[in-house]
Amino acid sequence: MRLLCFSDVHGNVEAVRAMISDTRKRGIDYDAAIAAGDLTNAVVTKDIEKAQECYDTMLSMLTKEYGRVYHVPGNRDYTGRGKKRRTLNFNKGIFIKPGEILPLSPDLGITASPELADNNTILVQHSCLRYYGRFKRISVISSKAFLHICGHTHTGVYTGNYLNTCFLYRDSSNGARPMLGGYFEVEIDDRDREIDVRFNALGPIKRKDLKMNNFTGSIYTPYGNSFPVSLIVE
């Protein structure tokens, strides 16, 4: 099984087109695509109607190209707070609702709920961060999931059963330089269930070795500049 995995598009339809064009050039076929949130930029633009149009356009493109497109919401896919909060109508693709496990293959399910994750399940969340005060943030990796896929931090990480998908497009809303990022291919051997992960850069994203707190693996960041990443497994 081969999966296309990405997140954090931030409403940039052209970034989706660039990804589709890149996979076409490389001649790669996927069994499904997984989008780990922040497809739109509603929380920044405060325009839920425009964000909905953007979501509809992107999901139509992705579904036409890759077939099954599983996705979860991100922190940017809504406007307002409290009684004024409005979220997108996630009516395209395959939206993973909380509290459910959907079939991905005969041997694997996919869920957005950590309490449902097990060795036969891929857990997809936008964020798995736990906050300790203003500056300390730790990504909590599921020890139960066969594969744990997240986004949100804009820092790609692959270690053990954990994959943070970096970003497909980073905007300037937090003072960063706008740029294309990239996407991941995840190949799962149906016999021995080994996982092979490959990153495909569309922008200036570079790989470095991840060596932190007994974690080893890979980290993917703009120009290879290291970002602080704290990880724990629970």
Provide the CATH number for the domain around residue 166.
3.60.21.10
* Distance in angstroms (rounded) separating the CA atoms of residues 40 and 14: 12
Where the chain has pLDDT below 70, the residues are 134, 228
pLDDT value, residue 191: 84
**pLDDT for residue 48:** 94
User: Are 166 and 155 within 8 A, CB to CB?
Assistant: yes
Tokens standing for residue 148: 């744990």
The pLDDT tens digits for 103-121 are 999 999 999 999 999 999 9
- Over the stretch 160-198, which tens digit does the pLDDT of each residue have? 999 999 999 999 987 889 999 999 999 999 888 899 999
What total number of domains does the chain contain?
Answer: 1
The residues near 133 (Cβ < 8 Å, ≥ 6 apart) are: none
Burial class of residue 63 in the structure, from the number of CB atoms within 10 Å of its CB (0-12 exposed, 13-18 middle, 19+ buried): middle
Radius of gyration of the chain (CA): 17
Predicted pLDDT of residue 161: 97
Q: Which domain holds residue 184?
A: 2-233
- Do 93 and 59 meet the contact criterion of CB atoms below 8 Å apart? yes
